[in-house]
Amino acid sequence: MPLLPLTPRADHPVTFLTDVEGQWQRLHSFLAGNPHAALVDDRLVVTPGATLVFGGDAIDRGPHARRIVRLLLDAKLRQPDQIVLLAGNRDINKLRLATELAGEPPRRAPSEVKASPPPELLRWIFAHTMGAAQAFAFRQEELAAQGEPAGDDDVVHSFLDDVAPGGLLTRYLAACQLAWRAGRTLFVHGGVAREAMTVVPGQPPTTLASFHVDPWIERLNAFHAEQLDAFIARARRADGGREWAALIRYQSPHPATRKNPASVVYGGFGDVDNNPQLPEPAVVDALVRAGIARVVVGHTPNGDVASVVRTAAPRAPFEIVIADNSRSRVETACRVTVRDEAIELHGTVVLDEGGERTVDATLPLGDRGSPVGRRTVDGSLVKAPLDEGFHTFRYLPGYRFEQRVVAREALGPLAEACAPALDDDADKG
């Protein structure tokens, strides 16, 4: 069962890191100078009165996956009431390997891949079903750096060891959860949409009008824990299916759309090009009624520093914070500190105009005078204040993005970046 924090107090500063994906330098930079958490004798230590939330995706795109997972799990076991671990899709999807490398390969794998030796099958799984084409080579590099055997078969065995009943990743995921709340802030890995708020796997569907955040969080986390227990037991249904298959489905994109709005793990807050946006108005209203004024996530790449997307007056203050650290132009991580009344952003951004800038900003939740969190006419999000203006960000097709500095007077008319309302108004409260 997960070791849940004991005191989710609104007045605790929460330091948030997510999506380091096996890249030690991102974790290390996040802790350097962080007043709320530090590396002490190669251990992660959270200062008294603070909470660290790791938002998921510890592994896949760097050669330090095991090192990061060990560090986070050790910290959780030592400071269970000050460390929150959220499960990301890149963490959960590795549970598939326990069966896919043991005679049950993915159905859509070509027949020649299914018949090939385990190392080739694992390479295909990473590249074609997990978006992690380099994960095999990164694990090989990590094993060699630790002085362990690093042949192809050794890589396969290391991943199987990780997902064994007492394996490192299994124990890590058992200490994770899917959602956590501190005061008026909700933390999940991916996103919160209408479908995710009204359907928890294995539970009767509800409506936005009846949404209550704390029971919903409890049901989500109970689902995750029950599925992990079934995985550890390798439980099977009468028809031979895996009892933990619901968790695998929950963190997976739908094959046709590559989206999964019913999941807080794989959902997101982006438009078709991943430009950050608020969820549909009915979702925002339901969250606000439930006492949530902010949702903090990772999962969706969004440049070098966190993106903040805000409602505009006369709507109630509400914001989305997207702090994913992948696909950025820098090797450092953005640091987000959350309190009920404000967030603090600290990080480095490389602008299209050339050169680096330091973002070091405090953004009060109810500040209606700031342009931060609004969208310009060309679709750019105003991200943060800089000395010479404001940092703006826009995604273009193909994961290309623009990062510019724009003077305040040149921002032009600003609008709320909000997803359109759905046609079906049946469960709007």
For residue 427, the model assigns a pLDDT of 34
Domains by residue range for the chain, with CATH = 14-283 (3.60.21)
In which residue are the tokens 């499960």 written? Answer: 87
For residue 9, the model assigns a pLDDT of 62
For residue 366, the model assigns a pLDDT of 87
Beta strand 83-85 pairing with 185-188: unpaired
pTM for this model (two decimals): 0.95
> Taking the CB of residue 108, how many other CB atoms lie within 10 A of it?
9
- CA 2 centroid distance within chain: 18
Question: Quick one: CA torsion of 239, 243, 249, 255, rounded to 10 degrees?
Answer: -20
Structure tokens given for 415: 């609008």
pLDDT in tens, the chain (429 residues): 445 544 456 668 999 999 999 999 999 999 999 999 999 999 999 999 999 999 999 999 999 999 999 999 999 999 999 999 999 999 999 999 999 999 999 999 999 999 999 999 999 999 999 999 999 999 999 999 999 999 999 999 999 999 999 999 999 999 999 999 999 999 999 999 999 999 999 999 999 999 999 999 999 999 999 999 999 999 999 999 999 999 999 999 998 888 999 999 999 999 888 899 999 999 999 999 999 999 999 999 999 999 999 999 999 999 999 999 988 999 999 999 999 999 999 999 999 998 999 999 999 998 999 999 999 999 999 999 999 999 999 999 888 899 999 999 999 999 999 877 654 433 322
> Taking the CB of residue 315, how many other CB atoms lie within 10 A of it?
15
- CA 16 centroid distance within chain: 11
Spatial distance between the Cα atoms of 131 and 60, rounded to a whole number of angstroms = 9
CA dist 359 → 363, 385, 390 (Å): 12, 7, 10
- CA 223 centroid distance within chain: 18
Spatial distance between the Cα atoms of 107 and 241, rounded to a whole number of angstroms = 14
> Taking the CB of residue 283, how many other CB atoms lie within 10 A of it?
26
Spatial distance between the Cα atoms of 317 and 300, rounded to a whole number of angstroms = 23
